[in-house]
Amino acid sequence: MSDHAQHGPGGHGKDHVPHILPLSTYFKTWGALMVLTVITVGASYLNFGPGNLVLAMLIATAKAATVALVFMHLYYDHKFHGVIFVSSLVFLGIFIAFTMFDTETRGRAEAMEGEHPANIKDPFGGTASEAAAKAKLKPAAAPAHH
Amino acid sequence: MSAPAEIVEGQPSAERGSPQFEVAHHFDSADTQFDAGRMGVWLFLVTEILLFGGLFCTFAVFRSWYFEDFVEAHHHLNKVMGGANTLVLIGSSLTMALAVRAAQMTDKKQTTRMLVITLLCAATFLVVKYFEYSAKFEHGLLPGAYFHGEGFQGTHAGVFFAIYFLMTGVHGLHVLIGMGLITWMLIRNLRGDFSSRYYAPVENVGLYWHLVDLVWIYLFPLLYLVG
């Protein structure tokens, strides 16, 4: 890595010098990934309820981080490449979370509107609590007495 | 650090390996060129993450809507085959990383060997996938409206299999593209293109291959293990 700094300005002559990791690093990484795979398959036979998903995702993330840091050389690479990678995961998290804010809460507004229907001719005329208060004062008066 | 660093400027590049390699005129040095290329590949990998991200998002939404159906349907996936494929893909990631290492050390023979093993692992992955798909087809476990599997309690198993085929299919396509890229690296390596001076294509194809592995690392537990 120290060789990176030795290149003078405009130097086309100096060669790129690779940063070579020892073989043992690769084999240990591989071993860790194999063990984690066996653990995650084993854990799927036990029932932790919702914990199964959490555990599986934690193990998957540990494996993904190992691959990214060692096999993809992020640990030894420019920090900026790691920033690019991690920022994509952050935005992916925002994407999934904000989509689920919608899909997980669909149908709630409809139920509230069923109880307190909005006045289409005067949509901003009153708050939900006002509508609720009015509804309590005159319980279904108008249609019943016709 | 290692021998190539001490090579004098102006020495014929044929003796330094990668005879056809020159630093492009708009790059300050070989390092700058190498880093620029790799950063480009990282940016491309980000777009890949967002492509698969859309599919993961779909999975998350429908799993939460039809949780029981998903859990029921996922029991029809073969954990043993999926697990074996995970090990095969992790093994191929190791050999790909070792191919890059061999290229870094100008070890042409070892690079060839490791790239060939990586290709064989990729082919094994697709063969196992073929058997899995055939079993699903046989039992009518097809996507969406084509679903006609029997003995299901829930009515949304078709949604699960639509997502299963879409996610594993797009992933399988990436494995196929990766095999093409690795074959290309193999040909260039046999031609003597790579050395410690120049191995950027091997490293960058390696990054792509590891990303394919990363996606599978999440796909496997989500689809096969927890549903």
A120 and A66 fall within a common domain: no
The least confident of A82-86, A134-138, B135-139, B195-199 is A134-138
A14 inside domain: no
Q: What is the pLDDT of residue B2?
A: 43
For residue B14, pLDDT beyond 80:
no
Shortest CA distance to B103 belongs to which of B197, B14, B31, B213? B197
Domain count, chain A: 2
What region does B210 belong to: left with phi over 0, alpha with psi -120 to 50, or beta? alpha
A60 and A119 fall within a common domain: no
| Distance of alpha carbon B49 from alpha carbon B205, whole angstroms | 16
Q: What is the pLDDT of residue B16?
A: 67
A63 and A92 fall within a common domain: yes
A57 contacts in chain B (CB < 8 Å): 218, 221
Where does the pLDDT of residue B134 fall: very low under 50, low under 70, confident under 90, or very high at 90 and above? Answer: very high
Q: Residue B219: helix, strand or coil by DSSP?
A: helix
A54 inside domain: yes
pLDDT in tens, B181-194: 999 999 999 999 99
Q: What is the pLDDT of residue B51?
A: 96
| Distance of alpha carbon B35 from alpha carbon A136, whole angstroms | 70
The least confident of B115-119, B170-174, B195-199, B213-217 is B195-199
Q: How far is CA B101 from the centre of its chain?
A: 18
| Distance of alpha carbon B202 from alpha carbon B104, whole angstroms | 9
Query: Can you give the C-alpha Rg of chain A in angstroms?
Result: 30
Q: Provide the domain limits for residue A131.
A: 108-137
A85 and A124 fall within a common domain: no
Percentage above 70 pLDDT, chain B: 93
pLDDT in tens, B86-128: 999 999 999 999 999 999 999 999 999 999 999 999 999 999 9
Q: At a CB cut-off of 8 Å and minimum separation 6, what does A58 contact?
A: none
A74 at B interface, C-beta within 8 A: no
B5 contacts in chain A (CB < 8 Å): 3, 15, 17
A98 and A116 fall within a common domain: no
Q: How far is CA B205 from the centre of its chain?
A: 9
What's the whole-number mean pLDDT along residues B124-149?
92
Residue type at position B187: I
A97 and A26 fall within a common domain: yes
For residue B57, pLDDT beyond 50:
yes
Q: What is the pLDDT of residue B110?
A: 96
A124 and A72 fall within a common domain: no
Distances in Å between the alpha carbon of A19 and those of A11, B34, B90? 20, 13, 23
Q: What is the pLDDT of residue B131?
A: 96
A144 inside domain: no
Stretches in chain A below the pLDDT threshold 50: 1-11, 138-146
A37 and A99 fall within a common domain: yes
A46 inside domain: yes
A28 and A42 fall within a common domain: yes
B207 at A interface, C-beta within 8 A: yes
Q: What is the mean pLDDT of chain A?
A: 81
Q: At a CB cut-off of 8 Å and minimum separation 6, what does B163 contact?
A: B55, B58, B59, B62
* Alpha-carbon gap: B8 to the closest alpha carbon of chain A (Å): 8
B 116-175: CB under 8 A from A: none
| Distance of alpha carbon B195 from alpha carbon B18, whole angstroms | 6
Q: How far is CA A93 from the centre of its chain?
A: 3
Q: What is the DSSP letter of B198?
A: B
* Alpha-carbon gap: B37 to the closest alpha carbon of chain A (Å): 11
Place of tokens 């390996």: B17
| Distance of alpha carbon A3 from alpha carbon B3, whole angstroms | 12
Q: Cα dihedral sign for B123, B124, B125, B129?
A: positive
A101 and A29 fall within a common domain: yes
A64 and A122 fall within a common domain: no
How much is the ipTM here?
A: 0.87
A7 inside domain: no
A146 inside domain: no
A37 inside domain: yes
* Alpha-carbon gap: A1 to the closest alpha carbon of chain B (Å): 9
Residue type at position B212: V
A130 inside domain: yes
For residue B8, pLDDT beyond 80:
no
Q: What is the pLDDT of residue A137?
A: 54
A53 and A116 fall within a common domain: no
Specify whether the CB–CB gap between B5 and A3 falls below 8 A.
Answer: yes
| Distance of alpha carbon B19 from alpha carbon B14, whole angstroms | 4
